[in-house]
A and B are shown apart, each in its own frame.
Chain A
Amino acid sequence: MDAAEPISEQPTSWTVRTRRAIDRHLPMDHLLPVRQPYYVGSWVYVFGVITIAALVWVVASGVVLAFMGPQWWHDSSVGRFFNSLHFWSVQLFFIFMVLHLWGQYFMAGWRHGRAATWAIGVVIFGISILTAFTGYLSQQNFDSQFIAVNAKDAMNGAGIGAFFNVLNFGQMYGLHIMLLPIGVTILVVLHIVMVRARGVVKPIDPEGGARS
């Protein structure tokens, strides 16, 4: 086959349509920002980036913990270090996620077609809480047993005790290291892509004029 022969693009092909839609909504030239509007020059906009950085540390330390196992993270000094690294990066993740949420709330970040971006952020917050909760249940110590036994009553009272069994370590651990982190990561990527596609929301009343 001649290498120079052009390959015809069928407009009905879903791959071609997907690629064109991506090009239309998020051109590769604009994927990573080079310049930002002047109003982005505030520390408030850094909270979201720090949240992402904390998530990277959470995932990286979590991968090491999952590979080495509970005995390592309890008995070995290096294991306890990674255990602490995982715990404290989660604290930073939540602290800066809430600060990011406050910033977006007060600047009404859902304006001008950004409602879905805001809504996905809310879902990320919810799934993150569930991930942290299952993380407390995955510690493999008396603390996790105490939390699990007490939480069991709450889950039963909510009517989901049979489906979401906090005494089932395998289920909690699987949710914590597999399904929930994948959900958080995919939604965070989607959240960032949507922010890049629409740009940062304009300040309310930026020039003292109309609130468009």
Chain B
Amino acid sequence: MDSPTTYFHWGFILISVPNLLVIAGMIVLFAIALVVPFPHGGEGKNGRR
């Protein structure tokens, strides 16, 4: 816990691996939210649910 973290370095991009993992996880979560069907999300008779 007390040791410095490792960094991802690519060109001008320098970011710690934990922060990179959080951002990657957020992108994955966002993609999942787009594709996973929402329960009872079907269209009703008047366009409402």
Contact = CB atoms under 8 A, between A and B. Distances in A.
B34 to A, nearest CB: 6
A110 interface: no
Contact of A41 (B26, B32, B34, B49): B49
A98 B22 CA distance: 12
A42 B42 CA distance: 10
A41 B49 CA distance: 8
B41 interface: yes
B12 interface: no
A36 B47 CA distance: 9
A95 B30 contact: no
Given A35-B48, A36-B48, A47 B43 contact: no
A43 interface: yes
Contact of A43 (B32, B42, B44, B47): B32
A89 B21 CA distance: 18
A98 B34 CA distance: 15
Interface residues of A, number: 16
Contacts of B10: none
B33 A44 contact: yes
A37 B48 contact: yes
Given A37-B48, A38-B47, A95-B22, A102 B38 contact: no
A35 B47 CA distance: 11
A37 B38 CA distance: 13
A42 B33 contact: yes
Contacts of A35: 48-49
A43 B29 CA distance: 10
A38 B44 contact: yes
A35 B22 CA distance: 34
A195 B26 CA distance: 24
Contacts of B43: 38
7 contacts: A38-B43, A42-B33, A43-B32, A44-B33, A44-B34, A95-B22, A99-B33
Interface of B: 22, 26, 29-30, 32-34, 36, 38, 40-44, 47-49
Given A38-B42, A43-B34, A47-B33, 10 more contacts: A38-B43, A38-B44, A42-B33, A43-B32, A43-B38, A44-B30, A95-B22, A99-B30, A99-B33, A103-B33
